[in-house]
Amino acid sequence: MQIRKASRKMTVSLLLAALAGGLLAGCGGNKDNAASSTQGASSPNSGKQVKLRVATSFAGSDPWVSAWTDAVQSFQAANPNIAIVDESTPVNQEALRTKVKADAATGNLADVLFYFNGSETKILQETNEIVSWEDELAKDPEWASTFNAAILDKVKYEDKQYSLPYIGFYEGLFWNKELFDKHQLEAPTTFEAFMKAVDTLAANDIIPIATSLTTPYIQEALVLSQVGPEGQKLAYDPSWAPALNLIKELSDRNAFPRDALTLDDDKAQALFSGGKAAMMFNGSWTAVGLSSNPAIQITPFPLVPGGKGENMIVSGFGSGWYMKKNDDQAQYDAALSFVKYMTSPDVAGKFAAVGGTYAVKTTDTGTTAPLLTAGNEMVAQAKDFVMPIDSFVSRESYTDFLKGLGYLAYGKKTAEEVLAQAKKLSDRNQG
Amino acid sequence: MNFKDKRYIVLFLSPTVILLFAFLLYPLIQSVYYSFTDWYNFSNKKTFIGLDNYRQLVQDPVVGIALRNTLILIVGAIVLQAGGGLALALLTASVKRGFKFFRTVYFFPIVISGTAIGLMFSIIYNYDYGLLNAIMRALGLPEQVWLTEHSSIYLVLIPILWQYVGFYFVIFLTGISKIPEDIYESAQLDGITGIQKAFKITIPLLRDVIASCLTLATAGALKVFDVVYIVTKGGPMNSSELLSTYMYDKAFNGQNAGYASTIVIAMMLLGILITVLLNKAVKKDTISY
């Protein structure tokens, strides 16, 4: 009887162990399979199947989605042994940041990433899992020569080239010339003209500035114009207060949509592109959709009274290509050839036709819209550039800062209170 | 119970127990630990900070707003969702024709995703392109900013109530169908009216079902996230913030998972407290007929 009892206990224990083992094997199975499927391959074209995980921001409503999809398809056609697992995730709601950070924390980074630079590079570098590109650039001088050396230098982190810059962005004041002409207004190139336009348009039932007060763009422009590039680096410094007070003044003058506190950026853009609003301060990624309307013009944000940031713009290479270290040579080579393909002048040219400025040579497709050309000229003529505020402050402090601006616009908090609260959160987490 | 039966009990329960432990209990225990840490950016670096996050929670004015809004949502869910479902069920049960039509119409919103409903209502409330202001214009009335600091929580309550009222309606309808017909027949012989029938027979005999629905409505109100996040993102000025939306904002937009875990623990404790109180309040002898 004792033996039967023991054997039954054993049976139950074994079954439970098998079940638990099965579950755990299920969780880890993908990695094992991926590893075994790539072992033995020596090059991207060796015929052995390689599964390449790529995580980029080219997803959702991103304007480069079609250029990206075409590029991935043509790469796969040329390299039938490499299967691309596209893990691209939209940047909205911090979905991409959350995915990549969770991947980094769990040792599950994709083989190739197109991801943010700046404070985000630090997070990837700390995993000790990403390649520093110096060796590969040295091995292939022809490929290296396609990159703008000065821009490569700008995105270095602790003197290391973890990120290969690709698409650059700029922020500018888009304005509808047709609406300005209709109300006999001057171009908003000076602050006086800008404020006169705000008052006149508001009085004529046209929204002066299409913006959501939950997005960062207009305040980025005001802060840079007020304190200049040096002052902008002093995160949440009290010297920013006059710039923030202008948000309150603009709000009081009915410069923003009536529901600016709950409006999202897509709907704000729709107000501008639909002719309900006359101005919009936003990024180069919106220029693509606006470029079909010849009345849309672009200019840097005008200098505010007493400001230090004349003809200076928020611009830069906020994202770049990262590659994971890999002991499996075939996997490594496949990832490298993918990045080289994406940064080749032909592929970059197709991305450039959609918009943005580029850190690599691009083949001109001859389809660049006049607004995009005007945007590039604005960048070329700018006196200085800065990266956006959120590239060098902690996420928590920045989201709190943005929320605080809503309170400020409706007189519930002062600029000093908003800045002090953000500074407190920033000091607590120097992320 | 003999040994052989126990062996099968263990065998058949084990998959559920393992899954519950792996995906519910273990993460919950981890969340309790994380709530005592400084943990940013989902990194591997977590610093134990004792009760600091809990101190911040108590002092955080947004948590106060979120608690108030959660209570408004619970009251709304109990009175309007469960109450509305009961009222609709009482009305529909006595309908001779079109019973299936009403049942389908009331139940339909449940099968629509919360995100789709949220998007629909965010467009309805939009100032420039919204349905409500289009109606106002058509009526010659001035346009309104609908989602304001004072109105937002009540306006996001509408889609939530609309979505789930059909769920309680179906439960009550099933409960009503279980009440023996002869009780109504004998009451009719005594000359009972329609309203008396509802209040003196149907509702008292549905007490068990009502108790279950109250618990479900309360638990459901504590879990609301999607519709509120899509329509207002907790704004304007945090006025429609719930504990769930604030937790999401801190965890994913603010990347402060330590403090977000503290909010999760607060949500869990609040949920347990309210459910226990509610169960005590409605617990009576079961009705048999």
Nearest Cα residue in chain A from B127 = A259
Q: Are residues A193 and A298 in the same domain?
A: yes
Nearest Cα residue in chain B from A27 = B22
Instruction: State pLDDT tens for residues B226-284.
Output: 999 999 999 899 999 999 999 999 998 898 999 999 999 999 999 889 888 888 877 66
Q: Are residues A218 and A113 in the same domain?
A: no
CB A399 within 8 A of CB B253: yes
Q: Do A105 and B256 touch (CB under 8 A)?
A: no
To the nearest whole Å, the CA of B227 is away from the closest chain A CA by 14
- Residue A245 belongs to some domain of the structure: yes
Q: Are residues A119 and A42 in the same domain?
A: yes
Question: Above 60 in pLDDT, residue A20?
Answer: no
Q: What residues in B contact A406, CB-CB < 8 Å?
A: 235-237
The angle subtended at Cα A210 by Cα A398 and Cα A230, nearest 5°, is 40
Rounded distance between C-alpha atoms, residue A352 and residue A360, angstroms: 10
Point out the residue among B7, B129, B255 whose CB comes nearest to the CB of A396: B255
Helix or strand run (H / E) with residue B180: none
- Give the pLDDT confidence score for residue A245 in this predicted structure: 96
Other Cβ atoms less than 10 A from the Cβ of B93: the count is 18
DSSP string over B22-52: IIIIHHHHHHHHHTTEE-BTT-S--EE-TTH
Rounded distance between C-alpha atoms, residue A55 and residue A102, angstroms: 13
Q: Are residues A114 and A146 in the same domain?
A: yes
Q: What residues in A contact B18, CB-CB < 8 Å?
A: 19-20, 23
Q: Are residues A214 and A346 in the same domain?
A: no
- Evaluate the CA torsion angle A60, A65, A70, A74 in order and state its sign: negative
To the nearest whole Å, the CA of A301 is away from the closest chain B CA by 26
Rounded distance between C-alpha atoms, residue A69 and residue A167, angstroms: 16
Q: Are residues A351 and A299 in the same domain?
A: no
Rounded distance between C-alpha atoms, residue B74 and residue B56, angstroms: 25
> B165 is written with which tokens?
């009222």
Q: What residues in B contact A101, CB-CB < 8 Å?
A: 41-43, 255
Question: Above 50 in pLDDT, residue A36?
Answer: no
Instruction: State pLDDT tens for residues A340-389.
Output: 999 999 999 888 888 788 888 888 777 677 888 888 888 888 888 888 99
Q: Are residues A391 and A353 in the same domain?
A: no
Instruction: State pLDDT tens for residues B138-160.
Output: 999 999 999 999 999 999 999 99
Nearest Cα residue in chain A from B23 = A23
Rounded distance between C-alpha atoms, residue A82 and residue A45, angstroms: 8
To the nearest whole Å, the CA of A90 is away from the closest chain B CA by 14
**A-B interface: how many C-beta pairs under 8 angstroms?**
108
Rounded distance between C-alpha atoms, residue B114 and residue B129, angstroms: 21
To the nearest whole Å, the CA of B60 is away from the closest chain A CA by 12
- pLDDT range class, residue A94, cuts 50, 70, 90: confident
CB B86 within 8 A of CB B156: no
Query: A25 Cβ partners below 8 Å, 6+ apart?
Result: none
- Residue A3 belongs to some domain of the structure: no
Q: Do B128 and A276 touch (CB under 8 A)?
A: yes
Mutate to test the interface with B, among A262, A271, A417, A430 (most CBs of B within 10 A): A262
Other Cβ atoms less than 10 A from the Cβ of B2: the count is 6
Query: A96 Cβ partners below 8 Å, 6+ apart?
Result: A55, A57, A89, A90, A115
Q: What residues in B contact A259, CB-CB < 8 Å?
A: 126-128, 145-147
Q: What residues in B contact A395, CB-CB < 8 Å?
A: 40-41, 253-256
Instruction: State pLDDT tens for residues A191-219.
Output: 999 999 999 999 999 999 999 999 999 99
Q: Do B18 and A412 touch (CB under 8 A)?
A: no
How many domains is chain A built from?
A: 2
Q: Do A267 and B129 touch (CB under 8 A)?
A: yes
Q: Which residues pair with A321 in a beta bridge?
A: A114, A164
Q: Do A8 and B3 touch (CB under 8 A)?
A: yes
Q: Are residues A344 and A394 in the same domain?
A: no
Q: Are residues A139 and A196 in the same domain?
A: no
Mutate to test the interface with A, among B131, B237, B249 (most CBs of A within 10 A): B237
- Residue A231 belongs to some domain of the structure: yes
Which ranges in B140-242 belong to alpha helices (H)? 152-178, 181-189, 194-197, 203-205, 207-223, 226-231
Other Cβ atoms less than 10 A from the Cβ of A27: the count is 10
The whole domain housing A304 covers 171-312+380-430
> What percent of chain B has pLDDT above 70?
96
Strand spans (E) along A117-261: 164-165, 167-176, 207-209
To the nearest whole Å, the CA of A406 is away from the closest chain B CA by 6
Other Cβ atoms less than 10 A from the Cβ of B22: the count is 14
Amino acid at A85: V
- Residue A185 belongs to some domain of the structure: yes
- Give the pLDDT confidence score for residue A131 in this predicted structure: 94
> A35 is written with which tokens?
């590893």
Q: What residues in A contact B38, CB-CB < 8 Å?
A: 429
Q: What residues in A contact B20, CB-CB < 8 Å?
A: none
Question: Above 50 in pLDDT, residue A33?
Answer: no
Nearest Cα residue in chain B from A413 = B237
Point out the residue among B18, B127, B237 whose CB comes nearest to the CB of A20: B18
Instruction: State pLDDT tens for residues B6-15.
Output: 888 888 999 9
To the nearest whole Å, the CA of B82 is away from the closest chain A CA by 30
Instruction: State pLDDT tens for residues A383-430.
Output: 888 889 988 898 899 999 999 999 999 999 999 999 999 999 998 876
Rounded distance between C-alpha atoms, residue A402 and residue A387, angstroms: 17
Query: A192 Cβ partners below 8 Å, 6+ apart?
Result: none
Which CATH number covers residue A241? 3.40.190.10
Question: Above 60 in pLDDT, residue B183?
Answer: yes
- Residue A59 belongs to some domain of the structure: yes
To the nearest whole Å, the CA of B41 is away from the closest chain A CA by 7
Q: Do B147 and A259 touch (CB under 8 A)?
A: yes
- Give the pLDDT confidence score for residue B106 in this predicted structure: 85
CB A73 within 8 A of CB A107: no
Instruction: State pLDDT tens for residues B85-108.
Output: 999 998 888 777 777 888 888 888
Q: Are residues A215 and A257 in the same domain?
A: yes
- Residue A373 belongs to some domain of the structure: no
DSSP state of B143: P
Chain centre to alpha carbon of residue B106 = 17
Which whole number is the average pLDDT over A4-23? 51
Strand spans (E) along A187-333: 207-209, 277-283, 296-299, 312-316, 319-323
Rounded distance between C-alpha atoms, residue B148 and residue A349, angstroms: 46
- Give the pLDDT confidence score for residue A1 in this predicted structure: 46
Question: Above 90 in pLDDT, residue A160?
Answer: yes
Other Cβ atoms less than 10 A from the Cβ of A373: the count is 11
Q: What residues in B contact A94, CB-CB < 8 Å?
A: 252-253, 255
Q: Are residues A105 and A193 in the same domain?
A: no
Q: Are residues A99 and A153 in the same domain?
A: yes
CB B51 within 8 A of CB B36: yes
CB A318 within 8 A of CB A118: yes
Instruction: State pLDDT tens for residues B4-41.
Output: 678 888 889 999 999 999 999 999 999 999 999 999 88
User: What is this structure's pTM?
Assistant: 0.82
Question: Above 50 in pLDDT, residue B204?
Answer: yes
- Residue A17 belongs to some domain of the structure: no
Q: Name residue, tokens 């897509």.
A: A266
- Residue A237 belongs to some domain of the structure: yes
